[in-house]
């Protein structure tokens, strides 16, 4: 059952804005407010469900309510009896798997990025299609050529931390609801962290986001705008998005970055700031002969949103061309340093994660110019 948020989305947007232009103090304050709003919304939603679901276990399960495995029941019973988590606790494997499923199912951007859950694995190997299989003489040496196409990536280098405030009253509800509360808090908090890292991470103790690129000297910098898009109906938008698709189709190969072509059909994802979404749709909307307003974009990009894409920008990337992974055991630790909250104990859930584009062409950033005034749609041929 989806969570009903009242204040969290507003505080999430405020936090995203603070990360783009706020001081460290403002970012810390915005983070604190976002965590508190999330905790209050999740607690209120769960309390409402408790009141609505005073029925037996089998009926709750048939209605899609939360049912725990024996391991989960034992673990969260101990949390209730101990009055909270221990100094260090590792969540049951099944809970960790449900966290990942919720991350992907409820958040389209992470799904489009193809985030992988590697469990206890902390390294993975990926290959470049160019040279993954090679021809050669029957007794020739091809091993060196094959090794050159495979690369190893570690996911222990980066750590994602999610804050979980557990109000004392929540412990009275029992293990089923504590598990749901903790899992929901982890999912929503980690979604913010993963989205921020995978979109706007600058590569400094965080992923290399889609808005950034790694240079030949190893430095990471923000991507330069590849152009300006107006989404003006007619031939203009066709030509604009044709240039986008063509640029995304370039795939550098080898040490010399020889430009080759990749198939991007059906794989282009367009990410907009929610503020700009309706401006783009407005410019791309026309009225047909039946008087019906129709919004279509050429080449059918997959459209989604992120508050971490700056206003006035639009981000494109190719599905399958960004390395996004989480791995290692998810631990919950008691946190007693800052962000103290009244009538609640604060915990942190730690998860190893990493992310970066496979190459600098796999994602492109464009400026938006949506203020076109009153214009007549162009004809079929742009006349």
The CATH number that applies at residue 257 is: 3.30.2320.10
Q: What is the pLDDT of residues 320-330, one digit of tens each?
A: 899 888 877 78
Mean pLDDT for the stretch of residues 16-45: 83
Mean pLDDT for the stretch of residues 120-145: 58
pLDDT value for 240: 95
CA distance 257 to 248: 15
Q: Examine the pLDDT at 303 and tell me if it is beyond 80.
A: yes
Q: Examine the pLDDT at 184 and tell me if it is beyond 90.
A: no
Helix, strand, coil % over all residues of the chain, rounded to 5: 35, 25, 40
Q: Is residue 381 part of a domain?
A: no
186 and 230 fall within a common domain: no
Most confident of 6-15, 116-125, 214-223, 372-381: 214-223
Higher pLDDT, 78 or 2: 78
Q: Examine the pLDDT at 135 and tell me if it is beyond 70.
A: no
304 and 281 fall within a common domain: yes
Q: Examine the pLDDT at 383 and tell me if it is beyond 50.
A: no
55 and 185 fall within a common domain: yes
227 and 314 fall within a common domain: yes
Q: Examine the pLDDT at 301 and tell me if it is beyond 90.
A: yes
Higher pLDDT, 247 or 79: 247
Band of pLDDT at residue 260, cut at 50, 70 and 90: confident
- For residue 78 the two structure tokens come to 């101990």
Higher pLDDT, 83 or 124: 83
221 and 157 fall within a common domain: no
pLDDT value for 327: 79
Largest CA distance in the chain: 74
- For residue 221 the two structure tokens come to 């910098």
Q: What is the mean pLDDT of the chain?
A: 80
3-state secondary structure of 189: helix
Q: Is residue 234 part of a domain?
A: yes
Contact 145, 135 (CB under 8 A): no
Q: Is residue 250 part of a domain?
A: yes
3-state secondary structure of 341: coil
Q: Examine the pLDDT at 10 and tell me if it is beyond 90.
A: no
164 and 221 fall within a common domain: no
pLDDT value for 186: 86
Q: Is residue 2 part of a domain?
A: no
Mean pLDDT for the stretch of residues 40-65: 64
Q: Is residue 308 part of a domain?
A: yes
Q: Is residue 118 part of a domain?
A: yes
Output the CA–CA distances (angstroms, integers) from residue 161 to 36, 103, 193, in the order listed.
16, 15, 8
* Residue closest to 267 by CA, chosen among 297, 300, 241: 300
pLDDT value for 93: 85
88 and 169 fall within a common domain: yes
Contact 312, 280 (CB under 8 A): no
76 and 189 fall within a common domain: yes
Band of pLDDT at residue 176, cut at 50, 70 and 90: confident
Expressed as residue numbers, the domain containing 272 is 216-322+361-368
Q: Is residue 379 part of a domain?
A: no
308 and 347 fall within a common domain: no
Mean pLDDT for the stretch of residues 210-226: 91
Band of pLDDT at residue 316, cut at 50, 70 and 90: very high
68 and 110 fall within a common domain: yes
pLDDT > 90: what percent of the chain? 24
Band of pLDDT at residue 95, cut at 50, 70 and 90: confident
Q: Examine the pLDDT at 382 and tell me if it is beyond 60.
A: no
Mean pLDDT for the stretch of residues 81-96: 81
Q: Is residue 382 part of a domain?
A: no
98-106 contacts, C-beta under 8 A, 24 or more apart: 98/183, 99/183, 99/186, 99/187, 99/190, 99/330, 100/326, 102/183, 102/184, 102/187, 103/187, 103/190, 103/191, 103/194, 106/2, 106/187, 106/191
Q: Examine the pLDDT at 198 and tell me if it is beyond 70.
A: yes
Mean pLDDT for the stretch of residues 71-78: 85
pLDDT value for 190: 87
Looking at the structure of the chain, the number of domains it has is: 2
235 and 205 fall within a common domain: no
Q: Examine the pLDDT at 173 and tell me if it is beyond 60.
A: yes
146 and 282 fall within a common domain: no
Mean pLDDT for the stretch of residues 362-372: 90
């Amino acid at each position: 059952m989806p969570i009903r948020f009242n204040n969290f989305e507003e505080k999430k947007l405020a936090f995203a804005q603070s990360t783009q232009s706020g001081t460290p103090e403002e970012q810390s304050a915005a983070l604190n407010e976002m965590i508190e709003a999330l905790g209050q919304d999740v607690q209120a939603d769960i309390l409402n469900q408790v009141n609505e679901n005073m029925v037996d276990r089998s009926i709750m399960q048939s209605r899609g309510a939360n049912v725990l495995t024996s391991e989960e029941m034992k673990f969260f019973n101990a949390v209730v009896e101990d009055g909270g988590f221990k100094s260090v606790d590792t969540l049951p494997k099944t809970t960790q798997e449900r966290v990942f499923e919720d991350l992907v199912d409820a958040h389209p951007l992470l799904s489009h990025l193809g985030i992988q859950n590697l469990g206890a694995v902390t390294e993975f190997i990926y290959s470049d299609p160019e040279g993954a299989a090679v021809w050669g003489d029957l007794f020739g040496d091809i091993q060196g050529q094959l090794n050159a196409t495979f690369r190893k990536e570690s996911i222990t280098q980066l750590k994602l931390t999610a804050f979980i405030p557990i109000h004392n009253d929540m412990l009275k509800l029992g293990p089923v609801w504590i598990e749901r509360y903790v899992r929901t808090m982890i999912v929503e908090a980690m979604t913010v962290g993963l989205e921020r890292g995978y979109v706007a991470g600058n590569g400094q103790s965080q992923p290399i986001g889609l808005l950034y690129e790694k240079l030949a000297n190893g430095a990471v910098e923000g991507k330069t705008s590849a152009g300006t898009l107006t989404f003006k109906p007619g031939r203009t938008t066709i030509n604009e998005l044709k240039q986008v698709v063509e640029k995304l189709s370039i795939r550098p190969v080898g040490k010399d970055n020889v430009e080759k072509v990749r198939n991007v059909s059906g794989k282009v994802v367009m990410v907009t700031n929610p503020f700009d979404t309706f401006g783009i749709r407005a410019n791309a909307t026309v009225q047909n002969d039946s008087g019906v307003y129709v919004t279509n974009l050429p080449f059918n990009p997959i459209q989604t949103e992120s508050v971490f894409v700056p206003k006035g920008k639009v981000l494109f990337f190719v599905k399958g061309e960004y390395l996004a992974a989480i791995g290692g055991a998810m631990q919950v630790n008691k946190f007693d340093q800052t962000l103290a909250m009244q009538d609640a104990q604060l915990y942190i859930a730690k998860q190893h994660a990493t992310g970066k584009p496979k190459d600098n062409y796999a994602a492109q950033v464009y400026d938006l110019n949506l203020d076109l005034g009153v214009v007549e749609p162009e004809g079929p041929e742009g006349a």
